[in-house]
Chain A
Amino acid sequence: MKRLLALALLAGFFSGAVQAAIYRVDDTGTVVSQPVTPMKWRQVAPSRGGDNTVEGQLNVALRLNLASWLNRPARIYMLLAPTEGEQLQATWRTQGRLMPGALRSGGRTLVYDGLVRDAILTETIQLNLVADGRLLTRAQSLQFYFEIEVSP
C-alpha cells in the first residue's frame, strides 16, 4: 500500500512538473543583406588604450513560420551557435515586432513574449557584430536561429 502511495505521489510530481516545450522555428525565407559582412577595425590605427575591436553591420529580413503555434502564448528566442575561438557579440535593433537585444555566441536572447498572432512573422533587424579583431583570425559563418517555447 505504501508502495502504491509512493508511486501515486511520484506520478503526481511528474505531472505537475511538465515543462514548456521548446521547438526550433522554421525561418525559411529569411534573407541577409550581404553575402559577406566585412568586419572593420573600430579604430583604423591601434589606440594607446588598446581598442582592437572589429565590427560589422547588416540587415536581416526575418521570416518566421509560427503557424503551428497560432493563438498560443509563446516566447521566442534568437540564438547564435558557438563560434570558433573568440566570442562574438551581436546586438540588433528591430522595427517593433520583435524586441531588440544582445547576444553572445553560444547564447540566446528573448525576442518575443506573447500570443502568436500571425502564422508568418516578418521583421527586419539591423544586426551589429562586434569582436576582438586580434582573435578573429579567419572568415566565419555565423549561425543564427530561433526557438519557440510554448506550454504543452
Chain B
Amino acid sequence: MRLPPLPYPPAAACVLALSGLLGCSAAQAYLVNIGTGTRALYLQVGTGTFTGFYSTGGTPGDNPTINTVTANVAAGAIGGGAQTMSTNSPVTNSPYDNFAFCTPTTGQVYVGGFYRTPGTAANATLSVTTPLNLLNASSDTIPFSTISWVSGGAQDTSATIPPGTFAGGTTQTLLTVGRNSWFESCLTFSYANAQLAPAGTFTGRATYQLVAP
C-alpha cells in the first residue's frame, strides 16, 4: 500500500517518520548560490578610455596618457603675478553621460571617477602626491606649492573637488568619495609667478590616486 505524502509542517512529518508511523517525504528545495556585486574603482585625470558611456552601461578601461598643464612666462613677466596654465587634455565631455562639462581651451582638466562597492565599507579617498619642487635641466627649482587650482565645470553649482594649492613633497587629500557615487570636476591650474626664477623649462609630476579601503 502506498501512503500519500504528508501535509505540512514537514518537520512534523519527519518526526512521525522517526516514530515509524509513516514514510518521510523526499521533499527538496533547489539552491541558487549568488555572489555580491564586484568592487570597482575608477579614476580619470585628463584623457581616459571608455566603451560607451557609463550612464548607459559603458565600461571604463585603462589609459596610460599623462596630460600636461603649462605656463609660459615671458622674460618680462617673470615674477609679475599669477598665470593661468593651459593644458593638452582634450576632454570636453563627461564620460559619465557625454555632457559638455569641461572647456580645455581655457585650461580645464577633467578629473572624475567612481567607487562601487557592496555593503558598508568606508568611503574612498582622492589624493594627489607631488614632489617638493619643479626642476629644470640645471636642477634649478620652483616650489610645487606655487601651483594652485580652482574647480569648475558647466552647471557645476558647487565645487566637487575643492580649490587648493599643491603642498609639495607630500600627499594631500582632495576629496572623500562616498560609496556608490560618481564625482567629477574640471580643474584649472595657475602658476603663482610671484618670484624670480632661472630660465628654463621646469617640470614635475602630480600623481592622483583614488584609494578604497
Contacts and interface: CB of A to CB of B under 8 A. Distances in A.
B36 to A, nearest CB: 5
Given A44-B58, A45-B54, A54 B28 contact: no
A44 B59 contact: yes
Given A24-B25, A44-B54, A48-B182, A133 B37 contact: yes
B31 A143 contact: yes
B19 interface: no
A139 interface: yes
Interface stretch (A1-9, A28-36, A94-102, A110-118): A28-36
A123 interface: no
B30 A32 contact: yes
Contact of B32 (A22, A28, A58, A135): A58
Contact of A23 (B8, B38, B97, B182): B8
Contacts of A26: 5, 25-28
Given A36-B34, A133-B36, A137-B119, A81 B180 contact: no
B54 A39 contact: no
Interface residue tally of chain A, by bracket?
A: 35 or more
Contacts, number: 148
A46 B119 contact: no
Contacts of A37: 32-35
A82 interface: no
A21 interface: yes
21 contacts: A21-B7, A22-B8, A24-B8, A24-B27, A26-B28, A27-B28, A31-B30, A37-B32, A45-B42, A45-B58, A45-B96, A45-B114, A60-B32, A127-B32, A137-B118, A138-B119, A141-B33, A143-B30, A143-B31, A145-B27, A145-B29
Given A24-B8, A140-B33, 10 more contacts: A26-B27, A30-B30, A31-B30, A36-B34, A38-B38, A42-B57, A62-B30, A68-B5, A134-B180, A136-B37
Interface of A: 21-28, 30-32, 35-48, 50, 52, 54, 56, 58, 60, 62, 65, 68, 81, 127, 129, 133-145, 147
